Amino acid sequence: MLASIEQNLNEQINVEFYSAYLYLAMGSYFESEGLRGFANWMRSQFEEEVAHAMKLYHYIVDRGGTVTLTAIAAPPTKWESPVSIFLQAYEHEKEVTQSINKIVDLTIKESDHATHHFLQWFIGEQIEEESSANTIYQQLVLSGTDKAALFFLDRELGQRTAGQT
C-alpha cells in the first residue's frame, strides 16, 4: 500500500472515531433533556461509527500497513435544540463524505484498485448516513414547537438498533 494512501486511511480512522465521540456527546445531551429515544439513536450511531473505524483498521492491517492512531478532538457538549443537533449531524456527515471522496480520488490517481474497491462500501454508507440525519432534521423542522410531534419522533427513534438507519 502506498504511504500516502495509508496515511489518508489512518486519518479517516480518526474522522470515524471523532464521529463516534460526536454522536456520543449528542446522545448525552439528549439524555439530559429526557429524550431517551433520540439518545438511543445517537448511541446506535456511535456504535456504527466505531464499526466504520474498525473496518478501516482491519483493511490497513490486511494490506500489510501500519495503523497509526492519533488524538481525537473533543466534541462540543452543548446545543440549542434537537433541530440544531440534527443540522450539525447532517453537516458533519457531508464533511465525512468529502473526506472519503478525497481518498477515493487519491486511489484513482495512484491506480490503487483494491483500496478503490474497498472504499465503495463507504460511499454507499455515506449516502445512507446523510439521508438519515437529514430526514430527522427535516422532521424536526416540520414539527416546529409541537411537543406531541417531538414525543412521537422520540418514540420512533427509540426503536433503532445499531446498524439500522
Pick from 83, 102, 91: nearest CA to 142: 83
Alpha carbon distance 53, 72 (integer Å): 12
List the grid coordinates of 145.
414547537
At 162, the pLDDT band (50, 70, 90 cuts) reads low
Q: Stretch 58-75: mean pLDDT, rounded?
A: 98
User: b/e map of 89-104 (b: 16 or more CB within 10 Å)?
Assistant: bbebbeebbebbeebb
pLDDT for the residue 161: 75
Summarize pLDDT for 7-63 with one digit per residue, the tens: 999 999 999 999 999 999 999 999 999 999 999 999 999 999 999 999 999 999 999
Q: Residue 164: pLDDT band by 50, 70, 90 thresholds? A: low
At residue 163 the predicted structure's pLDDT band, cuts being 50, 70 and 90, is low
pLDDT over threshold 90, residue 82: yes
| pLDDT over 60 (residue 135) | yes
Centroid of chain to Cα 127: 11
For the full predicted model, state whether its pTM sits above 0.85.
yes
- Residue 160's pLDDT band (cuts 50, 70, 90): confident
What Cα–Cα distance (Å) separates residue 54 from each residue in 15, 69, 79? 12, 12, 29
Q: pLDDT tens-digit profile of 98-131?
A: 999 999 999 999 999 999 999 999 999 999 999 9
**Segment 69-91 mean pLDDT:** 97
Q: CATH for 3-157?
A: 1.20.1260.10
